[in-house]
Chains A and B, each alone.
Chain A
Amino acid sequence: MSADVLAVDGITRRFGAVVANDQVTLRVRAGEVVGLLGHNGAGKTTLVSQVVGLLRPDAGTIRVGDIDAVADPAGARRRVALQAQAQAPINGLTPRTAIELAGRIRGLSPRRARAAAEELAAELDILPWIDQKALPDGGGLSGGVRRLTSFAMTVVAPTPLVVLDEPTNDIDASRRRRLWDAVRRIGDEGAGVLLVTHNVVEAERVVDELVVLDRGKVVAAGSPAALRGSQDTDLRLELQLHPGGADPSEVLDAVPVPVPRRVRPGRRVLLPAPAAQAAAAVAWATALREGGALDGYALAPATLEDAYLAVTTSEASDEAVTEEQSRA
Protein backbone atom coordinates (compact mmCIF):
# COMPACT_ATOMS: atom_id res chain seq x y z
CA MET A 1 0.00 0.00 0.00
CA SER A 2 1.36 3.38 -0.91
CA ALA A 3 1.57 6.04 1.74
CA ASP A 4 0.11 8.63 -0.63
CA VAL A 5 -2.99 10.12 0.89
CA LEU A 6 -3.47 12.29 -2.18
CA ALA A 7 -2.26 11.50 -5.67
CA VAL A 8 -3.24 13.96 -8.37
CA ASP A 9 -2.15 12.92 -11.84
CA GLY A 10 -2.42 15.02 -14.96
CA ILE A 11 -5.49 16.92 -13.86
CA THR A 12 -6.84 19.30 -16.46
CA ARG A 13 -9.85 21.49 -15.96
CA ARG A 14 -11.12 24.19 -18.28
CA PHE A 15 -13.70 26.92 -17.82
CA GLY A 16 -14.58 27.83 -21.38
CA ALA A 17 -11.35 28.99 -22.98
CA VAL A 18 -9.51 29.35 -19.68
CA VAL A 19 -7.40 26.38 -18.63
CA ALA A 20 -7.62 26.63 -14.85
CA ASN A 21 -5.62 23.44 -14.25
CA ASP A 22 -3.25 22.20 -16.93
CA GLN A 23 -1.85 18.68 -16.40
CA VAL A 24 -1.37 19.19 -12.68
CA THR A 25 0.40 16.38 -10.87
CA LEU A 26 1.17 16.33 -7.17
CA ARG A 27 1.45 14.00 -4.20
CA VAL A 28 0.73 14.34 -0.51
CA ARG A 29 2.07 11.53 1.66
CA ALA A 30 0.89 10.62 5.14
CA GLY A 31 2.60 12.81 7.71
CA GLU A 32 3.61 15.41 5.18
CA VAL A 33 2.61 19.06 4.86
CA VAL A 34 2.62 20.09 1.21
CA GLY A 35 2.30 23.76 0.36
CA LEU A 36 0.44 24.66 -2.80
CA LEU A 37 1.60 28.12 -3.74
CA GLY A 38 0.43 30.41 -6.45
CA HIS A 39 -0.85 33.87 -7.23
CA ASN A 40 -4.54 34.68 -7.23
CA GLY A 41 -6.14 32.86 -10.12
CA ALA A 42 -3.31 30.33 -10.43
CA GLY A 43 -5.82 27.48 -10.19
CA LYS A 44 -5.31 26.45 -6.56
CA THR A 45 -8.94 26.53 -5.49
CA THR A 46 -10.04 24.83 -8.72
CA LEU A 47 -7.70 21.97 -7.92
CA VAL A 48 -8.97 21.67 -4.36
CA SER A 49 -12.59 21.72 -5.56
CA GLN A 50 -11.89 18.68 -7.70
CA VAL A 51 -10.34 16.80 -4.79
CA VAL A 52 -13.51 17.18 -2.71
CA GLY A 53 -15.85 16.48 -5.61
CA LEU A 54 -17.26 19.95 -6.16
CA LEU A 55 -15.89 20.04 -9.69
CA ARG A 56 -15.27 17.27 -12.15
CA PRO A 57 -11.91 17.24 -13.94
CA ASP A 58 -11.84 17.23 -17.75
CA ALA A 59 -8.89 14.83 -17.69
CA GLY A 60 -6.60 13.13 -15.20
CA THR A 61 -7.03 11.10 -12.05
CA ILE A 62 -7.29 11.94 -8.37
CA ARG A 63 -6.82 9.30 -5.70
CA VAL A 64 -7.50 10.03 -2.05
CA GLY A 65 -5.94 7.12 -0.21
CA ASP A 66 -7.26 4.06 -2.02
CA ILE A 67 -10.30 5.86 -3.39
CA ASP A 68 -10.70 7.12 -6.94
CA ALA A 69 -12.03 10.58 -6.13
CA VAL A 70 -13.40 11.17 -9.63
CA ALA A 71 -15.44 7.95 -9.67
CA ASP A 72 -16.39 7.95 -5.99
CA PRO A 73 -16.51 11.55 -4.77
CA ALA A 74 -18.59 10.63 -1.72
CA GLY A 75 -15.96 8.10 -0.63
CA ALA A 76 -13.25 10.70 -1.16
CA ARG A 77 -15.11 13.30 0.89
CA ARG A 78 -15.12 11.01 3.89
CA ARG A 79 -11.31 10.98 3.70
CA VAL A 80 -10.79 14.71 3.14
CA ALA A 81 -11.48 17.59 5.47
CA LEU A 82 -11.53 20.92 3.69
CA GLN A 83 -11.22 24.37 5.14
CA ALA A 84 -12.55 26.43 2.27
CA GLN A 85 -11.46 29.94 1.53
CA ALA A 86 -14.92 31.29 2.32
CA GLN A 87 -15.83 31.45 6.00
CA ALA A 88 -17.65 28.41 7.35
CA PRO A 89 -21.39 28.95 7.81
CA ILE A 90 -21.56 29.42 11.57
CA ASN A 91 -23.93 32.38 11.96
CA GLY A 92 -26.27 31.70 14.85
CA LEU A 93 -23.81 29.22 16.35
CA THR A 94 -21.07 29.53 18.94
CA PRO A 95 -17.57 28.28 18.06
CA ARG A 96 -18.13 25.49 20.58
CA THR A 97 -21.32 24.28 18.90
CA ALA A 98 -19.86 24.69 15.42
CA ILE A 99 -16.75 22.65 16.21
CA GLU A 100 -18.82 19.98 17.97
CA LEU A 101 -21.22 19.70 15.05
CA ALA A 102 -18.34 19.40 12.60
CA GLY A 103 -16.92 16.62 14.75
CA ARG A 104 -20.27 14.83 14.90
CA ILE A 105 -20.58 15.05 11.10
CA ARG A 106 -17.25 13.23 10.89
CA GLY A 107 -18.35 10.52 13.28
CA LEU A 108 -16.98 11.64 16.65
CA SER A 109 -19.02 10.61 19.69
CA PRO A 110 -20.80 13.50 21.45
CA ARG A 111 -18.37 13.25 24.36
CA ARG A 112 -15.29 13.17 22.10
CA ALA A 113 -16.62 16.08 20.00
CA ARG A 114 -17.17 18.18 23.14
CA ALA A 115 -13.68 17.46 24.43
CA ALA A 116 -12.09 18.11 21.02
CA ALA A 117 -13.82 21.49 20.76
CA GLU A 118 -12.33 22.56 24.10
CA GLU A 119 -8.87 21.25 23.24
CA LEU A 120 -8.76 22.99 19.88
CA ALA A 121 -10.12 26.26 21.27
CA ALA A 122 -7.33 26.18 23.86
CA GLU A 123 -4.70 25.28 21.27
CA LEU A 124 -5.77 28.16 19.02
CA ASP A 125 -6.35 30.57 21.91
CA ILE A 126 -10.01 31.29 21.17
CA LEU A 127 -11.41 30.10 24.51
CA PRO A 128 -12.65 33.61 25.46
CA TRP A 129 -15.07 33.50 22.51
CA ILE A 130 -16.00 29.84 22.58
CA ASP A 131 -19.53 30.53 23.83
CA GLN A 132 -20.13 33.71 21.90
CA LYS A 133 -22.59 33.50 19.03
CA ALA A 134 -21.61 34.43 15.50
CA LEU A 135 -24.21 36.85 14.16
CA PRO A 136 -25.21 37.53 10.58
CA ASP A 137 -23.28 40.13 8.58
CA GLY A 138 -20.05 39.54 10.45
CA GLY A 139 -21.35 40.43 13.92
CA GLY A 140 -20.61 38.68 17.20
CA LEU A 141 -17.25 37.20 16.27
CA SER A 142 -14.31 38.76 14.49
CA GLY A 143 -13.12 37.45 11.14
CA GLY A 144 -10.06 35.98 12.79
CA VAL A 145 -12.02 34.02 15.40
CA ARG A 146 -14.35 32.80 12.67
CA ARG A 147 -11.40 31.66 10.57
CA LEU A 148 -9.85 29.84 13.54
CA THR A 149 -13.22 28.23 14.24
CA SER A 150 -13.34 27.08 10.59
CA PHE A 151 -9.91 25.61 11.01
CA ALA A 152 -10.89 23.81 14.20
CA MET A 153 -14.02 22.48 12.47
CA THR A 154 -11.82 21.08 9.72
CA VAL A 155 -9.32 19.30 11.93
CA VAL A 156 -11.61 18.29 14.82
CA ALA A 157 -11.75 14.64 13.75
CA PRO A 158 -8.75 12.68 12.46
CA THR A 159 -8.92 12.61 8.66
CA PRO A 160 -6.34 11.08 6.30
CA LEU A 161 -6.14 14.25 4.20
CA VAL A 162 -6.61 17.81 5.42
CA VAL A 163 -6.89 20.57 2.83
CA LEU A 164 -6.51 24.13 4.09
CA ASP A 165 -7.29 26.92 1.64
CA GLU A 166 -5.71 30.17 2.87
CA PRO A 167 -6.24 29.26 6.54
CA THR A 168 -4.48 32.32 8.00
CA ASN A 169 -6.55 35.03 6.32
CA ASP A 170 -7.82 37.59 8.89
CA ILE A 171 -5.80 36.04 11.73
CA ASP A 172 -3.51 38.06 13.98
CA ALA A 173 0.20 37.29 14.14
CA SER A 174 0.28 35.45 17.46
CA ARG A 175 -2.66 33.19 16.71
CA ARG A 176 -1.30 32.62 13.23
CA ARG A 177 1.73 31.07 14.83
CA ARG A 178 -0.52 28.82 16.91
CA LEU A 179 -2.35 27.79 13.78
CA TRP A 180 0.89 26.88 12.02
CA ASP A 181 1.93 24.86 15.05
CA ALA A 182 -1.39 23.04 14.92
CA VAL A 183 -0.91 22.35 11.20
CA ARG A 184 2.51 20.90 11.94
CA ARG A 185 1.07 18.80 14.78
CA ILE A 186 -1.64 17.36 12.51
CA GLY A 187 1.00 16.40 9.98
CA ASP A 188 3.19 14.88 12.66
CA GLU A 189 0.23 12.83 13.87
CA GLY A 190 0.10 11.21 10.46
CA ALA A 191 -2.38 13.12 8.33
CA GLY A 192 -1.38 14.47 4.95
CA VAL A 193 -1.90 18.21 4.76
CA LEU A 194 -2.32 20.19 1.56
CA LEU A 195 -1.83 23.81 2.45
CA VAL A 196 -3.06 26.25 -0.16
CA THR A 197 -1.64 29.71 0.28
CA HIS A 198 -0.07 32.70 -1.35
CA ASN A 199 1.86 33.49 1.81
CA VAL A 200 5.23 32.07 0.83
CA VAL A 201 7.17 33.34 3.81
CA GLU A 202 4.90 31.72 6.38
CA ALA A 203 4.40 28.52 4.44
CA GLU A 204 8.15 27.99 4.30
CA ARG A 205 8.22 27.39 8.03
CA VAL A 206 5.78 24.49 8.12
CA VAL A 207 5.89 22.70 4.81
CA ASP A 208 7.90 19.63 3.87
CA GLU A 209 7.22 19.97 0.17
CA LEU A 210 6.09 22.77 -2.07
CA VAL A 211 4.24 22.83 -5.34
CA VAL A 212 4.08 26.12 -7.20
CA LEU A 213 1.17 26.65 -9.54
CA ASP A 214 1.22 29.40 -12.11
CA ARG A 215 -1.65 29.96 -14.52
CA GLY A 216 -2.84 26.41 -14.03
CA LYS A 217 0.51 24.69 -14.45
CA VAL A 218 2.93 23.24 -11.93
CA VAL A 219 6.02 25.38 -12.51
CA ALA A 220 8.10 24.12 -9.61
CA ALA A 221 7.96 21.38 -6.99
CA GLY A 222 10.25 20.11 -4.28
CA SER A 223 11.38 20.75 -0.75
CA PRO A 224 11.83 24.40 0.26
CA ALA A 225 15.60 23.90 0.22
CA ALA A 226 15.56 22.33 -3.21
CA LEU A 227 13.24 25.02 -4.50
CA ARG A 228 15.42 27.80 -3.23
CA GLY A 229 17.67 26.31 -5.88
CA SER A 230 20.82 27.29 -4.12
CA GLN A 231 22.72 26.60 -0.95
CA ASP A 232 21.56 28.32 2.20
CA THR A 233 24.77 30.36 2.07
CA ASP A 234 23.68 32.04 -1.15
CA LEU A 235 22.68 35.65 -1.15
CA ARG A 236 20.33 37.91 -2.97
CA LEU A 237 21.19 41.30 -4.33
CA GLU A 238 18.22 43.60 -4.44
CA LEU A 239 18.48 46.71 -6.58
CA GLN A 240 15.97 49.45 -5.85
CA LEU A 241 15.34 51.43 -9.01
CA HIS A 242 14.30 55.06 -9.34
CA PRO A 243 10.70 55.52 -10.38
CA GLY A 244 10.81 54.97 -14.12
CA GLY A 245 14.56 54.37 -13.91
CA ALA A 246 16.36 51.92 -16.20
CA ASP A 247 17.38 48.51 -14.87
CA PRO A 248 21.21 48.44 -14.87
CA SER A 249 21.21 44.65 -14.80
CA GLU A 250 19.41 44.51 -18.13
CA VAL A 251 22.74 44.25 -19.93
CA LEU A 252 23.87 41.00 -18.38
CA ASP A 253 27.52 41.55 -19.31
CA ALA A 254 27.59 44.59 -17.06
CA VAL A 255 26.76 42.49 -14.00
CA PRO A 256 29.91 41.25 -12.27
CA VAL A 257 28.21 38.03 -11.03
CA PRO A 258 26.60 35.22 -13.03
CA VAL A 259 22.85 35.83 -13.40
CA PRO A 260 20.95 32.55 -13.71
CA ARG A 261 17.69 34.39 -13.19
CA ARG A 262 16.42 37.87 -12.67
CA VAL A 263 13.13 38.84 -11.06
CA ARG A 264 11.65 42.29 -11.24
CA PRO A 265 8.69 42.83 -8.92
CA GLY A 266 7.78 46.50 -9.32
CA ARG A 267 10.74 48.80 -8.84
CA ARG A 268 12.90 46.08 -7.32
CA VAL A 269 15.26 43.80 -9.20
CA LEU A 270 16.31 40.59 -7.47
CA LEU A 271 19.55 38.90 -8.50
CA PRO A 272 21.00 35.80 -6.87
CA ALA A 273 24.58 36.35 -5.77
CA PRO A 274 26.91 33.50 -4.77
CA ALA A 275 28.40 34.25 -1.35
CA ALA A 276 31.93 34.17 -2.75
CA GLN A 277 31.11 37.02 -5.10
CA ALA A 278 29.31 39.17 -2.57
CA ALA A 279 32.09 41.72 -2.48
CA ALA A 280 32.07 42.22 -6.24
CA ALA A 281 28.30 42.52 -6.25
CA VAL A 282 28.32 45.13 -3.48
CA ALA A 283 31.05 47.11 -5.18
CA TRP A 284 29.07 47.16 -8.41
CA ALA A 285 25.85 48.19 -6.70
CA THR A 286 27.61 50.88 -4.61
CA ALA A 287 29.10 52.36 -7.75
CA LEU A 288 25.68 52.38 -9.42
CA ARG A 289 24.09 54.10 -6.48
CA GLU A 290 26.82 56.69 -6.27
CA GLY A 291 26.42 57.28 -9.99
CA GLY A 292 22.72 57.95 -9.36
CA ALA A 293 21.53 54.92 -11.34
CA LEU A 294 19.91 53.34 -8.26
CA ASP A 295 17.76 54.47 -5.38
CA GLY A 296 19.44 51.92 -3.15
CA TYR A 297 20.41 48.30 -2.84
CA ALA A 298 20.42 45.49 -0.28
CA LEU A 299 22.28 42.24 0.09
CA ALA A 300 20.46 39.53 2.03
CA PRO A 301 20.26 35.73 2.30
CA ALA A 302 18.32 34.18 -0.56
CA THR A 303 14.74 33.24 0.45
CA LEU A 304 12.08 30.96 -0.84
CA GLU A 305 10.13 34.01 -1.86
CA ASP A 306 12.87 34.88 -4.36
CA ALA A 307 12.63 31.43 -5.87
CA TYR A 308 8.85 31.64 -5.90
CA LEU A 309 8.87 34.99 -7.63
CA ALA A 310 11.43 33.68 -10.07
CA VAL A 311 9.22 30.82 -11.23
CA THR A 312 6.04 32.88 -11.31
CA THR A 313 6.77 36.55 -12.07
CA SER A 314 9.71 36.14 -14.40
CA GLU A 315 7.69 34.02 -16.79
CA ALA A 316 4.92 36.56 -16.77
CA SER A 317 7.27 39.42 -17.50
CA ASP A 318 9.12 37.42 -20.17
CA GLU A 319 5.82 36.82 -21.82
CA ALA A 320 4.89 40.45 -21.57
CA VAL A 321 8.19 41.37 -23.22
CA THR A 322 7.71 38.81 -25.96
CA GLU A 323 4.24 40.13 -26.51
CA GLU A 324 5.49 43.69 -26.83
CA GLN A 325 8.20 42.60 -29.22
CA SER A 326 5.79 40.74 -31.41
CA ARG A 327 3.51 43.76 -31.56
CA ALA A 328 6.37 46.10 -32.43
Chain B
Amino acid sequence: MPEATTTARPAAPPTAFVPARVGLWSSYRTLLRWQLGQAGSDLPMIVVIQALLAAGVVIGFGFLIPDISPESALFLSTGTPTVLLMVVGLTIVPQGVVRARTDGTFTYLRSLPVARPLLLLADLTVWLVVALPSVAVAVIVADLRYDLTLAFDWPLLIAASLLVTVTATAVGYAIAVTFAPMMAQVLSQVLVFFVMLFSPITFPASQLPGWFQSVHDVLPIRPAADLLRAGLVSGTYDASLRDLVVLVVWCVAGLALSTRALVRRA
Protein backbone atom coordinates (compact mmCIF):
# COMPACT_ATOMS: atom_id res chain seq x y z
CA MET B 1 0.00 0.00 0.00
CA PRO B 2 1.52 3.36 -0.98
CA GLU B 3 2.52 5.60 1.91
CA ALA B 4 0.41 8.47 0.64
CA THR B 5 -2.81 6.56 1.24
CA THR B 6 -1.87 5.96 4.85
CA THR B 7 -1.11 9.55 5.68
CA ALA B 8 -4.14 10.86 3.84
CA ARG B 9 -6.52 8.68 5.84
CA PRO B 10 -8.41 10.83 8.34
CA ALA B 11 -7.78 10.08 11.98
CA ALA B 12 -10.58 8.13 13.60
CA PRO B 13 -13.04 10.11 15.66
CA PRO B 14 -12.01 9.11 19.18
CA THR B 15 -15.57 9.20 20.50
CA ALA B 16 -16.54 6.28 18.30
CA PHE B 17 -14.23 4.05 20.31
CA VAL B 18 -14.91 4.75 23.93
CA PRO B 19 -15.26 1.16 25.09
CA ALA B 20 -18.60 0.30 26.59
CA ARG B 21 -18.56 -0.50 30.28
CA VAL B 22 -20.58 -3.65 30.59
CA GLY B 23 -22.23 -4.27 33.95
CA LEU B 24 -21.12 -7.24 36.04
CA TRP B 25 -24.56 -8.82 35.92
CA SER B 26 -24.75 -8.52 32.16
CA SER B 27 -21.23 -9.95 31.74
CA TYR B 28 -22.11 -12.82 34.06
CA ARG B 29 -25.28 -13.63 32.16
CA THR B 30 -23.48 -13.61 28.83
CA LEU B 31 -20.67 -15.81 30.17
CA LEU B 32 -23.21 -18.16 31.66
CA ARG B 33 -24.99 -18.51 28.32
CA TRP B 34 -21.62 -19.17 26.72
CA GLN B 35 -20.60 -21.81 29.27
CA LEU B 36 -24.01 -23.48 29.35
CA GLY B 37 -24.02 -23.60 25.57
CA GLN B 38 -20.66 -25.32 25.68
CA ALA B 39 -21.57 -27.73 28.47
CA GLY B 40 -25.00 -28.35 26.95
CA SER B 41 -23.93 -31.30 24.83
CA ASP B 42 -22.18 -32.95 27.79
CA LEU B 43 -25.00 -32.47 30.28
CA PRO B 44 -27.13 -35.55 29.51
CA MET B 45 -23.99 -37.67 29.50
CA ILE B 46 -22.96 -36.42 32.93
CA VAL B 47 -26.40 -37.12 34.38
CA VAL B 48 -26.24 -40.67 33.00
CA ILE B 49 -22.79 -41.14 34.55
CA GLN B 50 -24.13 -39.92 37.87
CA ALA B 51 -27.03 -42.36 37.75
CA LEU B 52 -24.69 -45.24 36.91
CA LEU B 53 -22.31 -44.21 39.65
CA ALA B 54 -25.17 -43.96 42.12
CA ALA B 55 -26.33 -47.45 41.16
CA GLY B 56 -22.76 -48.66 41.47
CA VAL B 57 -22.36 -47.32 44.96
CA VAL B 58 -25.80 -48.18 46.28
CA ILE B 59 -26.09 -51.65 44.77
CA GLY B 60 -22.43 -52.59 44.26
CA PHE B 61 -21.22 -51.61 47.72
CA GLY B 62 -24.27 -53.42 49.10
CA PHE B 63 -22.81 -56.68 47.79
CA LEU B 64 -19.74 -56.12 49.97
CA ILE B 65 -21.89 -56.33 53.07
CA PRO B 66 -23.64 -59.70 53.46
CA ASP B 67 -27.16 -59.49 54.98
CA ILE B 68 -27.04 -55.73 55.04
CA SER B 69 -28.93 -54.30 58.03
CA PRO B 70 -31.39 -51.44 57.56
CA GLU B 71 -28.97 -49.19 59.50
CA SER B 72 -26.03 -50.00 57.22
CA ALA B 73 -28.25 -49.62 54.16
CA LEU B 74 -29.35 -46.22 55.37
CA PHE B 75 -25.77 -45.16 56.07
CA LEU B 76 -24.58 -46.35 52.67
CA SER B 77 -27.49 -44.75 50.85
CA THR B 78 -27.21 -41.40 52.57
CA GLY B 79 -23.48 -41.30 51.80
CA THR B 80 -24.04 -41.82 48.08
CA PRO B 81 -24.94 -38.18 47.24
CA THR B 82 -21.63 -37.09 48.76
CA VAL B 83 -19.72 -39.68 46.73
CA LEU B 84 -21.34 -38.35 43.56
CA LEU B 85 -20.77 -34.67 44.37
CA MET B 86 -17.16 -35.35 45.30
CA VAL B 87 -16.52 -37.37 42.16
CA VAL B 88 -18.03 -34.64 39.99
CA GLY B 89 -16.15 -31.89 41.83
CA LEU B 90 -12.80 -33.54 42.32
CA THR B 91 -12.62 -35.57 39.09
CA ILE B 92 -14.93 -34.38 36.34
CA VAL B 93 -14.38 -30.67 37.07
CA PRO B 94 -10.55 -30.86 37.03
CA GLN B 95 -10.64 -32.85 33.80
CA GLY B 96 -12.85 -30.24 32.17
CA VAL B 97 -10.70 -27.39 33.44
CA VAL B 98 -7.46 -29.08 32.40
CA ARG B 99 -8.90 -29.51 28.92
CA ALA B 100 -9.83 -25.82 28.86
CA ARG B 101 -6.30 -24.96 29.93
CA THR B 102 -4.62 -27.05 27.26
CA ASP B 103 -6.90 -26.25 24.32
CA GLY B 104 -6.68 -22.49 24.79
CA THR B 105 -10.20 -21.92 26.14
CA PHE B 106 -8.87 -20.71 29.46
CA THR B 107 -6.55 -18.20 27.81
CA TYR B 108 -9.27 -17.08 25.45
CA LEU B 109 -11.73 -16.36 28.24
CA ARG B 110 -9.06 -14.58 30.26
CA SER B 111 -8.41 -12.23 27.35
CA LEU B 112 -12.04 -11.10 27.27
CA PRO B 113 -13.02 -7.72 28.70
CA VAL B 114 -14.77 -9.13 31.76
CA ALA B 115 -13.86 -9.16 35.43
CA ARG B 116 -12.01 -12.46 35.64
CA PRO B 117 -13.62 -13.70 38.86
CA LEU B 118 -16.85 -13.77 36.84
CA LEU B 119 -15.35 -16.54 34.72
CA LEU B 120 -15.10 -18.68 37.85
CA LEU B 121 -18.57 -17.68 38.98
CA ALA B 122 -20.09 -18.66 35.63
CA ASP B 123 -18.18 -21.94 35.68
CA LEU B 124 -19.30 -22.68 39.24
CA THR B 125 -22.90 -22.00 38.27
CA VAL B 126 -22.69 -24.46 35.39
CA TRP B 127 -21.15 -27.13 37.62
CA LEU B 128 -23.86 -26.56 40.21
CA VAL B 129 -26.44 -27.22 37.54
CA VAL B 130 -24.54 -30.33 36.49
CA ALA B 131 -23.83 -31.71 39.96
CA LEU B 132 -26.89 -30.88 42.04
CA PRO B 133 -29.16 -33.48 40.39
CA SER B 134 -26.72 -36.02 41.88
CA VAL B 135 -28.36 -35.67 45.25
CA ALA B 136 -31.80 -36.48 43.88
CA VAL B 137 -30.50 -39.23 41.58
CA ALA B 138 -28.66 -40.91 44.45
CA VAL B 139 -31.64 -40.74 46.81
CA ILE B 140 -34.02 -42.12 44.18
CA VAL B 141 -31.71 -45.03 43.31
CA ALA B 142 -31.14 -45.82 47.00
CA ASP B 143 -34.84 -45.67 47.77
CA LEU B 144 -35.63 -48.06 44.92
CA ARG B 145 -33.10 -50.54 46.26
CA TYR B 146 -33.57 -50.37 50.02
CA ASP B 147 -36.98 -48.80 50.64
CA LEU B 148 -35.53 -46.18 52.97
CA THR B 149 -37.21 -44.12 55.66
CA LEU B 150 -35.89 -40.62 55.14
CA ALA B 151 -36.60 -37.50 57.15
CA PHE B 152 -35.60 -34.45 55.15
CA ASP B 153 -34.46 -31.31 56.90
CA TRP B 154 -35.02 -29.20 53.80
CA PRO B 155 -33.16 -26.02 54.76
CA LEU B 156 -30.18 -28.05 55.93
CA LEU B 157 -30.33 -30.38 52.93
CA ILE B 158 -30.42 -27.51 50.44
CA ALA B 159 -27.72 -25.51 52.18
CA ALA B 160 -25.51 -28.58 52.60
CA SER B 161 -25.97 -29.65 48.97
CA LEU B 162 -24.99 -26.19 47.75
CA LEU B 163 -22.02 -25.88 50.09
CA VAL B 164 -20.70 -29.37 49.33
CA THR B 165 -21.07 -28.87 45.58
CA VAL B 166 -19.38 -25.48 45.61
CA THR B 167 -16.59 -26.78 47.84
CA ALA B 168 -15.93 -29.88 45.75
CA THR B 169 -16.05 -27.84 42.54
CA ALA B 170 -13.82 -25.07 43.89
CA VAL B 171 -11.24 -27.55 45.18
CA GLY B 172 -11.32 -29.47 41.90
CA TYR B 173 -10.95 -26.22 39.96
CA ALA B 174 -8.05 -25.18 42.17
CA ILE B 175 -6.32 -28.53 41.56
CA ALA B 176 -6.73 -28.09 37.81
CA VAL B 177 -5.29 -24.58 37.73
CA THR B 178 -2.57 -25.08 40.33
CA PHE B 179 -0.84 -28.23 39.13
CA ALA B 180 0.67 -28.92 35.72
CA PRO B 181 -2.05 -30.36 33.43
CA MET B 182 -0.62 -33.89 33.46
CA MET B 183 -0.26 -33.90 37.24
CA ALA B 184 -3.76 -32.52 37.71
CA GLN B 185 -5.17 -35.33 35.52
CA VAL B 186 -3.40 -38.00 37.57
CA LEU B 187 -4.42 -36.42 40.85
CA SER B 188 -8.05 -36.24 39.81
CA GLN B 189 -7.99 -39.96 38.97
CA VAL B 190 -6.38 -40.90 42.27
CA LEU B 191 -8.99 -38.85 44.12
CA VAL B 192 -11.80 -41.06 42.78
CA PHE B 193 -10.33 -44.00 44.64
CA PHE B 194 -9.63 -41.95 47.70
CA VAL B 195 -13.21 -40.72 47.81
CA MET B 196 -14.82 -44.07 47.06
CA LEU B 197 -12.65 -46.45 49.06
CA PHE B 198 -10.66 -44.53 51.64
CA SER B 199 -13.17 -41.98 52.85
CA PRO B 200 -15.76 -42.59 55.56
CA ILE B 201 -18.70 -41.65 53.39
CA THR B 202 -20.37 -44.99 52.80
CA PHE B 203 -19.05 -46.58 56.00
CA PRO B 204 -18.69 -45.11 59.51
CA ALA B 205 -15.43 -43.34 60.35
CA SER B 206 -15.06 -45.61 63.39
CA GLN B 207 -13.92 -48.40 61.02
CA LEU B 208 -10.78 -46.43 60.19
CA PRO B 209 -7.62 -46.39 62.31
CA GLY B 210 -7.45 -43.45 64.71
CA TRP B 211 -4.77 -41.51 62.85
CA PHE B 212 -6.71 -41.79 59.60
CA GLN B 213 -9.85 -40.54 61.34
CA SER B 214 -7.89 -37.45 62.40
CA VAL B 215 -6.81 -36.91 58.80
CA HIS B 216 -10.44 -37.02 57.73
CA ASP B 217 -11.32 -34.52 60.47
CA VAL B 218 -9.46 -31.84 58.50
CA LEU B 219 -10.26 -33.02 54.97
CA PRO B 220 -13.58 -31.85 53.51
CA ILE B 221 -14.91 -35.30 52.60
CA ARG B 222 -16.26 -36.73 55.86
CA PRO B 223 -17.64 -33.37 57.03
CA ALA B 224 -19.44 -33.08 53.69
CA ALA B 225 -20.91 -36.55 54.10
CA ASP B 226 -22.03 -35.91 57.64
CA LEU B 227 -23.64 -32.61 56.75
CA LEU B 228 -25.61 -34.07 53.84
CA ARG B 229 -26.61 -37.11 55.87
CA ALA B 230 -28.00 -34.87 58.57
CA GLY B 231 -30.08 -33.13 55.94
CA LEU B 232 -31.42 -36.42 54.55
CA VAL B 233 -32.30 -38.18 57.80
CA SER B 234 -32.56 -35.51 60.43
CA GLY B 235 -32.83 -36.83 63.94
CA THR B 236 -30.90 -40.03 63.19
CA TYR B 237 -27.70 -38.32 62.08
CA ASP B 238 -26.43 -34.92 62.98
CA ALA B 239 -23.58 -32.76 61.87
CA SER B 240 -21.33 -30.62 63.99
CA LEU B 241 -20.46 -26.98 63.65
CA ARG B 242 -16.87 -28.12 63.25
CA ASP B 243 -17.82 -29.98 60.04
CA LEU B 244 -19.34 -26.80 58.71
CA VAL B 245 -16.22 -24.79 59.54
CA VAL B 246 -13.90 -27.33 57.88
CA LEU B 247 -16.02 -27.30 54.72
CA VAL B 248 -16.18 -23.52 54.60
CA VAL B 249 -12.40 -23.25 55.01
CA TRP B 250 -11.83 -25.65 52.09
CA CYS B 251 -14.43 -23.84 50.03
CA VAL B 252 -12.82 -20.44 50.58
CA ALA B 253 -9.34 -21.83 49.94
CA GLY B 254 -10.48 -23.46 46.70
CA LEU B 255 -12.19 -20.29 45.52
CA ALA B 256 -9.18 -18.15 46.44
CA LEU B 257 -6.67 -20.36 44.60
CA SER B 258 -8.92 -20.59 41.53
CA THR B 259 -9.54 -16.84 41.41
CA ARG B 260 -5.85 -16.14 41.82
CA ALA B 261 -5.01 -18.40 38.87
CA LEU B 262 -7.59 -16.61 36.72
CA VAL B 263 -6.57 -13.11 37.70
CA ARG B 264 -2.81 -13.27 37.90
CA ARG B 265 -0.43 -12.63 35.06
CA ALA B 266 2.43 -15.10 34.71
Contacts and interface: CB of A to CB of B under 8 A. Distances in A.
Contacts of B120: none
A55 interface: yes
B119 to A, nearest CB: 11
A105 B33 contact: no
A190 B13 contact: yes
Interface stretch (B22-30, B87-95, B151-159, B231-239): B22-30
A229 B28 CA distance: 51
A91 B107 contact: no
B191 to A, nearest CB: 24
B144 to A, nearest CB: 32
Interface in A1-44: 1, 3, 30-32
Interface stretch (B2-10, B50-58, B203-211, B215-223): B2-10
**Mostly helix, strand, loop or mixed at chain A's interface?**
loop
Interface size of A as a range: 35 or more
B12 A73 contact: no
A191 B111 contact: no
A78 interface: yes
Interface stretch (A80-88, A121-129, A268-276, A293-301): A80-88
Interface residues of B, number: 43
A295 B245 CA distance: 80
B265 to A, nearest CB: 4
A77 interface: yes
A94 B244 CA distance: 43
Contact of A86 (B10, B12, B107, B115): B107
Interface string B69-109: 00000000000000000000000000000001001110111
B104 A86 contact: yes
Given A31-B11, A52-B111, A158-B17, 19 more contacts: A3-B11, A31-B9, A53-B111, A54-B266, A55-B266, A77-B113, A78-B19, A87-B104, A89-B34, A89-B100, A89-B104, A91-B38, A92-B38, A97-B37, A104-B22, A105-B27, A190-B11, A190-B17, A224-B1
Interface of A: 1, 3, 30-32, 52-56, 65, 73-74, 77-79, 82, 84-93, 97, 101, 104-108, 133, 135-136, 157-160, 188-191, 205-209, 223-225
Interface of B: 1-3, 6, 9-14, 16-17, 19-22, 26-27, 30-31, 33-34, 37-42, 100, 103-105, 107-115, 265-266
28 contacts: A3-B11, A3-B12, A30-B11, A54-B107, A54-B111, A78-B19, A79-B19, A84-B104, A85-B104, A86-B103, A86-B104, A86-B107, A86-B108, A87-B103, A89-B100, A89-B104, A90-B38, A93-B34, A104-B30, A105-B27, A105-B30, A105-B114, A106-B19, A106-B20, A189-B12, A190-B11, A190-B12, A191-B12
